[in-house]
Structure 1
Amino acid sequence: MSDKAPTSPVSRERSREIKRLSVILAARQARRLSRVDLAEMTGLSAATVTALVRELVAEGYLIERGPGAPTTGRPREMLEFNPRAELVAAVSLEPPRISCEIADSEGAVIAHRVARLGANVVETVCEFVLDLVGDNLPSLRGVAIAVPGVSSNGAVRLAPSVGLVEAWPIGESVQRRLGVPVVVDNDVNLMAAGECVAGAGADVANLLLIHVADGIGAGLVLDGKVRRGASGAAGEVGFLPLGGATERRYSGVGEFEARWSVNAIAERVVALNPGRRPESPVRELSRLAATSAPARDYLDEVLGAWAGLILSCACVVDPGLVLLSGAAAELDDPALDQLQTLVSARTPAPTEVRRATLGDQAVLHGAISYALSAAVPRPSLP
C-alpha cells in the first residue's frame, strides 16, 4: 500500500480512512502485535503506523502492553487489540419472545435480555438494544437481527409468527433509529454462519445446515459465503412439495415442514405414547423406538423424509457436509448412523452428516460475524 498522500482533500481523507481501517483489521486479526508487525502487515510506513496507533490507543481500540519477549536488539513495545472497543448487538426474534445480547468482537456476552415480543417489532428491538448497551453506545458498531422468515435487503416477509407476511423494512427502520449499520437475515442463515465461525463447520468452506423446529429451514454456505438467492429465499426447504402440483397459496407454512417439523412429530409421539407433549419429541421418539415397533416404523419414516430432503439439496449444491440443527440434532447415534447410510446410498457425491454443535449460541456467533462485517467503515466517496 502506498503511503504517499494524495493532493485532493477528499482523496487524502479517503486514503487516511483506508489506512486506519487496515490497521484496525490487522490488529483485530493478530490480537497482540508490535508497531513493526503492523507496518509489515499493512505495508504502511513506520511514521504512518505510529500516528494511527497513537490515535487508536486514545480511542480505546489498542492497549499498550509494554515490551514483548526478548529478541535480538531492542525489545518491541507490544499492542493488544481491545475487543470491548467494538460491541455488537445480536437480536433474535423467536416468537413469542425476543432475545438480545450485547457482545464484544470476541463473542463475549456482556449483557443479555429475553422478554415477550411486543406488537411493534422495530420499537421493541430499538428499546432492547439501547437499554442493554447503555453508556457503551459509542462503541456499538452494528446490529444483526435474526428473523424466522425471508429477508432481502433488510425487508422481512413470510414470517407469520412475528406478523410479517408482506415485506417490511425492519433493517432500514432500526438503522435509522439507532444510527449504526443493521443487517437482517433468516435465523437459519445466521446459524450456518455461526457454525462456520465457531462450530462444527469451522474446518470447511461448504456446508448445508438443516434446522428442524416449528418449521424447517436450511442455511447454505458455499465457498465460505452464506448464499441467499435472488430474493433471499434460498434455504426455504420447508416449502418443498410432498408430491404433485398444488394451487395452495404460500401463507408462511410449507408442505414439507407441515408434515415433518417438530410439531408434526410431537403429535405422532403423543399418539404413540398418550400423555403430555414431550419437551423433546425427536429424542422421545428415539427412546420409544427402542421398544415399540410402531414407534420404530415412524422413526424410519422421519429419517426417510429427512434423508430425502438432504438428497434433494445435495444433488443441486453438493455441500459435502450437512449439519443437523434444532430437533434434528437430538437424534441418537444409531438414528444418526441410519440417516447417514440413507444419504450415502443415494447421493451422487460424498456427503457427511454431522450434528451442529453450538445450539442456541449459533445465532449469536453468526450475528456477531454479520454485525462486525456490516460495521467495517467504508471509505468516503468523492
Structure 2
Amino acid sequence: MERAPTSPVSRERSREIKRQSVISAAREARVLSRVDLAELTGLPAATLTALVRDLIAEGYLIERGPGANTTGRPRAMLEFNPRAELVAAVSLEPPRITCEIADSNGTVIAHRTSRLGPDVVETVCQFVAELVADNRPSLCGVAIAVPGVSSGGAVRLAPSVGLVEARPIGQSVQQELGVPVVVDNDVNLMAAGERMAGAGKDVDDLLLLHVADGIGAGLILDGQVRRGASGAAGEVGFLPADPEADRAYSGVGPFEARWSANAIAERVVALHPGRRPEAPVSELIELAATSAAARAYLDEVLDAWARLVISCACVVDPGRVLLSGAAAQLDDAALARIQDLVSAKVPAPTEVRRAVLGDQAVLHGAISYALSAAVRLPGPSPTTTHR
C-alpha cells in the first residue's frame, strides 16, 4: 500500500515542538551537555545535532568548554542565553507609564518612567519599541498592568487612564508589536510579584489588599491568580462601607470612597490643617500619638480594614493577607491591632503581614506574566487575555 505523503505543515509543526522542547530543557537546566539534552528531550542524536546547531546560530545556546571531570571523555557544555528571550513589563500608573525590559532570568536590563500620553495603546507600543531598541528581534512577550478590570485583554473601570468602557488594549498592542501580550489588573500583578519575590514567596495561597486612590485585592489560590468570571474578582472597594451606604455607581466604590488613601489624606488635613500628606497613614499614626481625635480616627481605619480582611478571609480562606500601598505604612502596633481583630473573627487562621516590594511588586509580577506568555508555561494565556 502506498504511503500518504507527510504534510509539510505537520513537519514544520513537529520541528517547532522539538525545538521548543530543547529550548525549555536548556532554559530549565541553564548549563548542560548534548548528552543531557538527549536524555531530557528524548530526541535522537541526528535531530538534536541539527537543532542545537540552529539554536547556537540564533543565540539561544552558547558553547562552553568541557564540564567538570567525569568518567570518560569530558563533555562540551552548552549554556542557555537568557538574553535571547526578552520581555517587557509595562505599568500604567497615571499620570506615569513605567516600562522594564527583562531577560528570561528576570534580570532587568532597561528601565524608564515617563508621562502617559493621551492614547494608551500608542504610548505603550512606542515606549516598548524605544526601550527594547536594537534587541527588538529578541522580544518575546509583553505584560501590561492596568488600574482597572481586564477581561479578554479589554480594560474597563480604569478612569485614571481614560478607560471607563471596555477597550481591547491587549489585542491592539499585540497586533502592533507582533508578540504575545497579557493584560491584567495592577493589583493582581502586585500579588503575583509578592509571591514571586516578596512576602508571599513561601505560600501558594494569599490575598493582597492594596490601598491607594482606590482599594483593590489580588487573590492567589493554589499558586494561580484568580480573576473571576468577568475579571472583576478583587474589586473590594465596591463593598458597602456600612449598612446605610447608598452610593450611586460612579466608578468609585463606597468602601474605597471612605477608607482609601485619598479619604484618609483628606481627614488628616482636617485634623491637622496644612499641606496634603504624601504618606497619609504614616502621618495619621504620628498625629495619633498626641491627638485623641486622630487616635479615634486611626481606630476607625484599622477597624474598617480589619472588617475587609475578615470578609475576604471568610470567603476564600487565603491563610495569609498582605497589606500593600498606604496600608503598608502601618507601624508594628497598628499591624498587631489588625491582626488581633482578624484573629478574633475569622473561622481559620489568617496571618496579616505587610507587603515588602512596594512599587516594584507590579513590575516583578509583570515580568513573571510576560515570561509565562513568551515561553507558553502554564498560567497567563499567550494571546492577551485574562478572563
Q: Which residue of 2 aligns with 1:35?
A: 34
Question: Helix, strand or coil: the match of 1:168?
Answer: coil
Taking the TM superposition and a 5 Å limit, the aligned residue runs for 1:1-382 are: 7-244=6-243, 248-376=247-375
Tell me the C-alpha RMSD between the 2 structures.
1.7
Shift of 1:129: 0.9
* Shift in CA distance, 210/291, structure 1 to aligned 2, threshold 3 Å: same
Distance of 2:246 and 2:343 partners within structure 1: 34
- In the TM superposition, residue 37 of structure 1 has moved relative to its aligned partner by 2.3
Change (3 A) 1:45 1:197: farther
Give secondary structure in 1 for the equivalent of 2:234: coil
Alpha-carbon distance, 1:243 to partner: 3.3
Whole-Å separation in 2 of the counterparts to 1:46 and 1:352: 53
- What are the superposed Cα offsets for residues 42-101 of structure 1, whole Å, 9 maximum, x if unpaired? 333343333222221111111122111112222222222211111111111111111111
* Distance (whole Å) between structure 2 residues aligned to residue 299 and residue 42 of structure 1: 59
Deviation at 1:248, TM superposition (A): 4.2
TM-aligned CA deviation for residue 246 of structure 1:
6.6
1:245 positional shift: 7.4
The letter for the 2-side match of 1:85 is: A
Q: CA deviation at 1:187?
A: 0.4
Q: Aligned equivalents of 1:247 and 1:355: distance in 2?
A: 31
C-alpha change, 1:64 and 1:322, in structure 2 (3 Å) is same
1:54 and 1:284, CA in 2 relative to 1: closer, same or farther beyond 3 A? same
Question: Following the alignment from structure 1 to structure 2, what is the Cα–Cα distance between the partners of residues 204 and 43?
Answer: 34
Which sits farther off after the overlay, 46-55 or 331-340?
Answer: 46-55
C-alpha contact 1:87 1:142 (8 A) present in aligned 2: yes
CA distance in 2, matches of 1:290, 1:246: 31
Asked if structure 1 preserves the Cα contact closer than 8 Å seen for 2:239 and 2:253, the reply is yes
Displacement of 1:294:
1.9
Measured after TM superposition, the shift of residue 156 of structure 1 is 0.5
Deviates most, 160-169 or 356-365 = 356-365
Question: Structure 1 pair 246/212, CA: closer, same or farther in 2 (3 Å)?
Answer: closer
Contact 1:158–1:251 (8 Å) recurs in 2: no
Structure 2 unaligned residues grouped into runs of 5+: 377-382
Displacement of 1:256 in angstroms is 0.6
Question: Which piece of structure 1 moves more, 192-201 or 307-316?
Answer: 192-201
Q: Secondary structure at the match of 2:100?
A: strand
Structure 1 pair 268–247 and aligned structure 2 pair: CA distance change class (3 A): closer
Q: Is the 8 A contact 1:165 1:251 kept in 2?
A: no
Helix, strand or coil: the match of 2:105?
Answer: coil
Q: Secondary structure at the residue paired with 2:252?
A: coil
Q: Share of identical aligned residues, percent?
A: 82
Change (3 A) 1:244 1:303: closer
Is contact 1:31-1:81 (8 Å) kept? yes
| TM-score for the superposition, normalised by structure 2 | 0.92
Cα deviation 1:184-242 (Å, max 9, x = unaligned) = 11000111111111111111111101111111100011111111111100001111112
**Which secondary structure does the structure 1 equivalent of 2:184 belong to?**
strand
Q: Distance in 2 between matches of 1:113 and 1:184?
A: 19
1:158 maps to amino acid:
L
> What amino acid is aligned across from residue 309 of structure 2 in structure 1?
I
Aligned mates of 1:319, 1:48 — CA distance in 2: 47
Letter in 1 for 2:364: H
- Alpha-carbon deviation of 1:284? 1.4
Contact 2:241–2:258 at 8 Å: present in 1 too? Answer: no
SS at match of 2:13: helix
AA partner of residue 212 (structure 2) = A
Range 27-36 or range 256-265, more displaced: 27-36
SS of residue in 1 equivalent to 2:144: strand
Distance verdict in 2 for CA 1:12–1:290, change over 3 Å:
same
1:64 aligned counterpart, secondary structure: strand
Unaligned runs of 5+ in 1: 1-5
CA contact (8 A) 1:151 1:186 kept: yes
* Residue identity in the other structure for 1:300: D
1:3 aligned residue: none
Separation in 1 of the partners of 2:341 and 2:85?
A: 45
Moved more, 186-195 or 270-279: 270-279
Conserved? CA contact 1:145–1:184, under 8 Å: yes
Amino acid corresponding to residue 330 of structure 1 in structure 2: Q
